[in-house]
Structure 1
Amino acid sequence: MFFPACLALAALISPASAYFKATAPQLHDQWANGEARTVSWTKGAHDGVTSFDIEMSRLSTDGLTLIAKNVPSADSSPKSINILLQDVPPGDDYFLLFLNSTHGVMYGTSPRFSILPAGGSTNGSTATNPKVATVTVSGAPNPTQAFATTFPVTSGGTPRLIVGGRRWSVATALSGCILGAVWTLLW
């Protein structure tokens, strides 16, 4: 009972400035094979996440499509990439995962969207950002394939598991819990 209370205390005193939200694709957007679409996001400032990976998954089938590794996410970098789909199986149950695949830390997911056959009538924004990289994704999900593209590691290195100011507030709360437990056992 004492340890869960300590964890709850640690969560309460930790700053809640870390967040990650996909802004494109939107819920029920339709993408078509042969067209490029922009994936964009917003994230917490100064959260320590300097890069992340993008993967695509479906609800109805097993498998992942590994899209981009080490996507830069520093405060000064663009908050989008373009994705060109080629021969991706059509379906209405796709979503994107934004994560650190090395550590298994999930930062966020996109809303559900559809992929149509080439030439299909789509909805949602078709504008792409000419100033960012375009990643070509082809074929059915296959988690044994390498990422479609890998960006160079940024000067900040890999993302940290516990980020920003949380490190010290969680450490302080856990130290207090441990000292409290020792005090209780000794007296």
Structure 2
Amino acid sequence: MQLKKVDKRVYRSRLNVVIVACVGCLAILSLSISQVLIQIFPSGEGTHFHWNLLGVVVAAGILGLTLMRLKTHSLMVEVAYVWDLKQALNLIYRKNRKLLLAAKQGNKEAMLALQFSYEGSRQLWTLDDNTITMDSLNQAQLQLDEWVELYGVQLDITQYQSEILKKF
């Protein structure tokens, strides 16, 4: 995955549309499905919890499949990019301890993964207005910069590939 420039205003407006649409569709679908199930399989007890639960589960499945199919739509480009970025950062985060140890010992690929993580996190946190933790990110970046200088490494995040993480 490569980092791309994203217009924050466009991303936020499209994300809000996706969220509202998902909430509305989930509510309408789950209620509709559970009502149909209750009509088909009535219960004399008066409780229909299992049908309501099944309606929510089926609606969530339908919504998930629909989002996967719409992911490539032109109006979903920014939202899909951020979803993919979050997944890529999560993969790096799972290996963070090993990456830090390897980077401290001069491993260029570990440093590259960390640099991608830091720049991706900075972009993500700016898009989501989550600047509270930016200080800790800046501290981690300073540490990485020290290792880069110490070992004389050149980092180009356009060279980052997620396959690097399999080594750690």
Q: TM-score, normalising length from structure 1?
A: 0.23
Q: Which structure's residues are more often strand, by fraction?
A: 1
Q: Which has the higher contact order (CA 8 A, sep 6+)?
A: 1
Bigger Cα Rg: 2
Q: Specify which structure has the higher proportion of helix.
A: 2
Structure 2 length-normalised TM: 0.24
